């Protein structure tokens, strides 16, 4: 890499072809003419420079030993040291496992449930029932994870919560759902289902509305039942939407939702609860290992980008329309 | 269009209707439980595991929280941050979207590409935290507002909206001698009121619900927002193994938890009908063009 930059340096040092004086003047005229527009643009550009691009530059501390008083620029380079430390740390395998298990549980349970709920809603012809159910199931999406976690704390409270009492009396057990590591993942998936399944149906319902209605009539004449119509007409009709949503979901796989996991993490379930996002917080913010945790965060976002492009490539390979 | 003449079809419909009704009720049930509990006496909450209507109506929990300075402070803070944050987001987004909607503006493509890149890649939690620290914004409410002041997705949607408005409007205004700023203020903004109202609602909900920013940037517990307060109140003390909690804190009675949840939820439920009117459309625009 370095050698090639040196090679091209010589021609670069030659003065670039000077822009025709007319061109420069034309830009000055353009600028003067649109000065108000450029002025309006300025705050937004400053925002992106400061709050979006400066942190991207700050990612360089993943390859440095960040010392607060030396700043991002002054801190010494250490190359891939933090990445090596992370990959050889026993935490790495645990974090990867926890993150992937939660991701696959969400992908394997919450994602299909969204499609099923959309299909069931789509079969409803009683429009008042459809609208009412939709209104109700969309609400949780707008509530904060703090509220979702608080409701869970109350409903599953030890010796107290209605769901604690109900489930334990049905199973004949005495499980403390909030601290038992075995129940952490089911709780997370349950919260995810309650909060976002309803909202997720919107996009599928919109796709379902575009499925050609004539095909159903033809299928009815051919004697196809309800389920065969769904299987052979409805599902193929929304296939491209399902694929796009799946690509998006896989691209987001490692984003396990910092707030949700953080709120449900406690001293007793850390072994299964720790995921990349919360690990970055605990190690970076509470323990002050800034460079190391930045390296962890960078690793996570790079894997995310690879995942989204990879799935998109796969979707195209199988002759489906990809996302881009 | 779909004819259902078979018995099987009718049974399916009936089962489906019952099932969906149950789903709807189950979604709502936690709220009903908390709402009922917030108006019940502490004795009743401890005695009855689950109820949707209190036997004895009591405002005790609300009287208690509204006489707690920490709660009042958190509530007032959150309302202020939400209002100011929404206004800042709207102003910054609109002023940036308007020039970017002008197809002949030089440098527009470059800026748009940088905006799109910022959607795909971000600096992440730690570099952003260090930036906020270096800017001296730790324990400042601006740290809750500025880092997310422009959402790239909504910027692009609003830009596209401006672009699709008929050009003739602007041209005729220009002939009447209106400036670019005048056109934005007098012609585009009135036309985009419904769109901007929708975005304002979404911004407000986002700021109101934000838990991560106060957790990261406000270590001073006298500055906590409602979400932080709510977490401290509802998480039972033995479960809080994870830092950022006031050490002098005494866990409250159950009824108080119920009441705080209701207060934190109520504004969202009040605005929900307005949100619902627009969000389906908004989400589809976002998915098609974002």
What is the tens place of the pLDDT at every residue in A17-69? 555 567 778 888 888 888 889 999 999 999 999 999 999 999 999 999 999 88
B-chain residue closest to A118, CA distance: B20
Instruction: Report how far residue A57's alpha carbon sits from residue B123's, in angstroms, rounded to the nearest whole number.
Output: 7
* Chain A residues within an 8 Å CB radius of B124: 55, 59, 280, 294, 297-298, 301
Q: Are A183 and A99 in contact (CB under 8 A)?
A: no
Closest partner CB to A55 (pick from B8, B122, B272) = B122
The pair of three-digit structure tokens given for residue A313, joined into one six-digit string: 């490539």
Residue A6's pLDDT is 38
For helices A184-208 and A90-105, the axis angle rounded to 10 degrees is 40
3-state DSSP call for residue A222? coil
Contact A37 B99 (CB under 8 A): yes
CA distance A162 to chain B (A): 5
Q: What angle do CA A48, A50, A51 make, to 5 degrees?
A: 70
Q: Is the pLDDT of residue B243 over 90?
A: no
Instruction: Report how far residue B10's alpha carbon sits from residue A126's, in angstroms, rounded to the nearest whole number.
Output: 13
Q: Are B119 and B153 in contact (CB under 8 A)?
A: yes
Show the DSSP H helices in chain A as ranges. 2-13, 21-33, 35-47, 54-58, 71-74, 81-88, 90-105, 111-122, 127-138, 145-155, 162-171, 184-208, 213-221, 226-229, 235-237, 239-251, 258-264, 270-273, 276-280, 290-317
DSSP state of B66: T
- pLDDT top residue among A290 and B180: A290
* Chain A residues within an 8 Å CB radius of B149: 47, 51
- pLDDT top residue among A199 and A323: A199
* Chain A residues within an 8 Å CB radius of B181: 36, 40
Q: Is the pLDDT of residue A4 over 80?
A: no
Q: Is the pLDDT of residue B251 over 80?
A: no
Instruction: Report how far residue B217's alpha carbon sits from residue B268's, in angstroms, rounded to the nearest whole number.
Output: 24
Lowest-pLDDT choice from B22-26, B162-166, B237-241: B237-241
Instruction: Report how far residue A53's alpha carbon sits from residue A44's, in angstroms, rounded to the nearest whole number.
Output: 12
* Count of CB atoms situated within 10 Å of the CB of A222: 9
A-chain residue closest to B266, CA distance: A143
- pLDDT top residue among A240 and A322: A240
Q: Are B154 and B199 in contact (CB under 8 A)?
A: yes
Q: Is the pLDDT of residue B111 over 90?
A: yes
Q: Is the pLDDT of residue A228 over 70?
A: yes
Contact B283 A203 (CB under 8 A): yes
DSSP state of A183: G
**pLDDT above 90 coverage of chain B, percent:** 51
Contact B239 A37 (CB under 8 A): no
Contact A268 B181 (CB under 8 A): no
Helix (H) or strand (E) holding B162: helix B152-164
For chain B, give the number of residues: 290
3-state DSSP call for residue A77? strand
Closest partner CB to B24 (pick from A36, A132, A262) = A132
Instruction: Report how far residue A85's alpha carbon sits from residue A151's, in angstroms, rounded to the nearest whole number.
Output: 39
A-chain residue closest to B21, CA distance: A133
Residue A290's pLDDT is 95
Enumerate the β-bridge partners of residue A77: A64
Closest partner CB to A44 (pick from B12, B27, B92) = B92
Instruction: Report how far residue A274's alpha carbon sits from residue A286's, in angstroms, rounded to the nearest whole number.
Output: 14
A-chain residue closest to B269, CA distance: A139
Enumerate the β-bridge partners of residue A64: A77
Give the pLDDT mean for B177-187. 82
The answer for A 83-102 residues in CB contact with B (under 8 A) is: none
Give the pLDDT mean for A79-102. 94
Q: Are B230 and A146 in contact (CB under 8 A)?
A: yes
Residue B4's pLDDT is 52
Residue B242's pLDDT is 43
Is the C-alpha dihedral spanning B62, A179, A258, A111 positive or negative? negative
For chain B, the average pLDDT equals 86
- Counting Cα atoms < 13 Å in the Cβ hemisphere of B154 gives 23
CA–centroid distance for A300 within its chain: 11
Contact B150 A58 (CB under 8 A): no
CA distance A12 to chain B (A): 23
Contact B268 A142 (CB under 8 A): yes
Contact B24 A136 (CB under 8 A): yes
The answer for A 186-215 residues in CB contact with B (under 8 A) is: 194, 198, 202-203, 206, 213
Contact B2 A179 (CB under 8 A): no
Closest partner CB to B180 (pick from A37, A153, A262) = A37
Q: Rounded to the nearest 10 degrees, how much is the dihedral formed by the CA atoms of A116, A122, A125, A128?
A: 90
Q: Is the pLDDT of residue A7 over 50?
A: no
- Residue A64 phi/psi, 5-degree rounding, is -130, 175
Instruction: Report how far residue B89's alpha carbon sits from residue B180's, in angstroms, rounded to the nearest whole number.
Output: 21
The pair of three-digit structure tokens given for residue B185, joined into one six-digit string: 């203020």
Instruction: Report how far residue A164's alpha carbon sits from residue A9's, in angstroms, rounded to the nearest whole number.
Output: 70
Q: Is the pLDDT of residue B124 over 50?
A: yes
- pLDDT top residue among A47 and B249: A47
Query: What confidence category does residue A2 fall into, taking pLDDT thresholds of 50, 70 and 90?
Result: very low
CA distance readout (Å), A34 to A31, A78, B163: 5, 47, 17
Q: Which residue has the tokens 């896989």?
A: A250
* Chain A residues within an 8 Å CB radius of B188: none
3-state DSSP call for residue A79? coil
A-chain residue closest to B51, CA distance: A162
Q: Are A247 and A312 in contact (CB under 8 A)?
A: yes
Q: Is the pLDDT of residue A9 over 60?
A: no
Residue A51 at interface with chain B, using a CB cutoff of 8 Å? yes
Residue A305's pLDDT is 86
Q: Which of A127, A109, A131 is nearest to A191 (CA)?
A: A109
Contact A147 B230 (CB under 8 A): yes
For chain A, the average pLDDT equals 87
Give the pLDDT mean for B267-279. 83
The pair of three-digit structure tokens given for residue B132, joined into one six-digit string: 């906020």
Query: What confidence category does residue B244 fall into, taking pLDDT thresholds of 50, 70 and 90?
Result: very low
Query: What confidence category does residue B250 fall into, taking pLDDT thresholds of 50, 70 and 90?
Result: low
Q: Is the pLDDT of residue A282 over 80?
A: yes
Query: What confidence category does residue B5 fall into, taking pLDDT thresholds of 50, 70 and 90?
Result: low
The model scores a pTM over 0.80? yes
- pLDDT top residue among A324 and A112: A112
Q: Is the pLDDT of residue A77 over 50?
A: yes
Q: Which of B234, B229, B264 is nearest to B244 (CA)?
A: B229
- pLDDT top residue among A176 and B244: A176
**pLDDT above 70 coverage of chain B, percent:** 88
Closest partner CB to A297 (pick from B126, B209, B231) = B126
Q: Which of B268, B260, B258 is nearest to A138 (CA)?
A: B268
């Amino acid at each position: 890499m370095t050698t090639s930059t040196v090679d091209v340096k010589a021609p670069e040092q030659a003065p670039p072809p000077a822009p025709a004086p007319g061109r420069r003047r034309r830009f000055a005229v353009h600028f003067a003419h649109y000065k108000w527009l450029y002025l309006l643009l300025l705050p937004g550009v400053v925002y992106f420079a400061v709050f979006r691009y400066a942190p991207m530059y700050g990612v360089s501390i993943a390859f440095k030993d960040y010392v607060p008083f030396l700043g991002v620029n002054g801190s010494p380079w250490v190359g891939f040291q933090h990445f090596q430390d992370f990959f050889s740390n026993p935490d790495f395998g645990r974090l990867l496992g926890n993150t992937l298990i939660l991701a696959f549980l969400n992908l394997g349970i919450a994602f299909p449930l969204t499609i099923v709920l959309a299909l069931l809603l789509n079969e409803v012809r009683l429009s008042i029932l459809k609208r009412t159910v939709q209104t109700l199931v969309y609400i949780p999406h707008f509530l904060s994870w703090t509220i979702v976690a608080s409701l869970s704390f109350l409903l599953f409270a030890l010796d107290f919560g209605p769901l604690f009492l109900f489930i334990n009396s049905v199973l004949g057990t005495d499980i403390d759902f909030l601290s038992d590591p075995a129940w952490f993942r089911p709780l997370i998936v349950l919260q995810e289902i309650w909060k976002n399944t309803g909202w997720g149906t919107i996009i599928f319902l919109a796709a379902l509305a575009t499925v050609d209605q004539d095909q159903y009539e033809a299928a009815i004449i051919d004697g196809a039942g309800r389920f065969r119509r769904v299987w052979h007409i409805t599902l193929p009709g929304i296939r491209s939407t399902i694929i796009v949503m799946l690509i998006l979901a896989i691209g987001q796989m490692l984003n396990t939702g910092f707030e949700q996991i953080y709120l449900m993490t406690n001293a007793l379930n850390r072994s299964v609860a720790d995921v990349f996002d919360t690990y970055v917080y605990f190690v970076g913010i509470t323990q002050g290992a800034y460079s190391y945790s930045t390296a962890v965060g960078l690793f996570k976002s790079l894997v995310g980008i690879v995942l989204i492009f990879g799935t998109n490539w796969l979707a195209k390979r199988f002759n489906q329309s990809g996302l881009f | 269009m779909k004819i259902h003449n078979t018995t099987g079809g009718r049974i399916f419909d009936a089962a489906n209707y019952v099932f969906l009704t149950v789903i709807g009720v189950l979604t709502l049930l936690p709220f009903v439980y908390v709402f009922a509990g917030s108006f019940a006496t502490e004795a009743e909450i401890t005695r009855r595991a689950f109820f949707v209507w209190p036997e004895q109506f009591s405002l005790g929990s609300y009287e208690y929280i509204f006489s707690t300075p920490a709660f009042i402070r958190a509530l007032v803070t959150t309302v202020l941050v939400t209002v100011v944050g929404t206004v800042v987001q709207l102003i910054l987004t609109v002023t940036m979207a308007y020039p970017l909607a002008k197809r002949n503006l030089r440098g527009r493509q470059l800026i748009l590409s940088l905006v799109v890149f910022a959607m795909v890649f971000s600096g992440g939690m730690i570099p952003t935290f260090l930036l906020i620290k270096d800017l001296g914004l730790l324990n400042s409410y601006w740290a809750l507002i500025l880092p997310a002041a422009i959402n790239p997705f909504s910027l692009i949607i609003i830009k596209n909206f401006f672009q699709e408005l008929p050009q003739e409007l602007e041209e005729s205004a220009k002939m009447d001698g209106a400036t670019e700023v005048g056109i934005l203020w007098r012609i585009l903004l009135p036309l985009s009121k419904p769109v901007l109202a929708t975005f304002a609602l979404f911004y407000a909900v986002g700021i109101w619900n934000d838990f991560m920013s106060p957790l990261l940037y406000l270590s001073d517990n006298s500055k906590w927002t409602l979400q932080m307060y709510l977490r401290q109140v509802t998480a039972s003390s033995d479960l809080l193994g994870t830092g950022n909690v006031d050490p002098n804190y005494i866990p409250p009675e159950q009824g108080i938890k119920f009441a705080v949840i209701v207060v934190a939820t109520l504004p969202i439920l009040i605005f929900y009908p307005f949100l619902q009117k627009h969000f389906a459309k908004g989400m589809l625009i976002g998915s098609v063009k974002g």
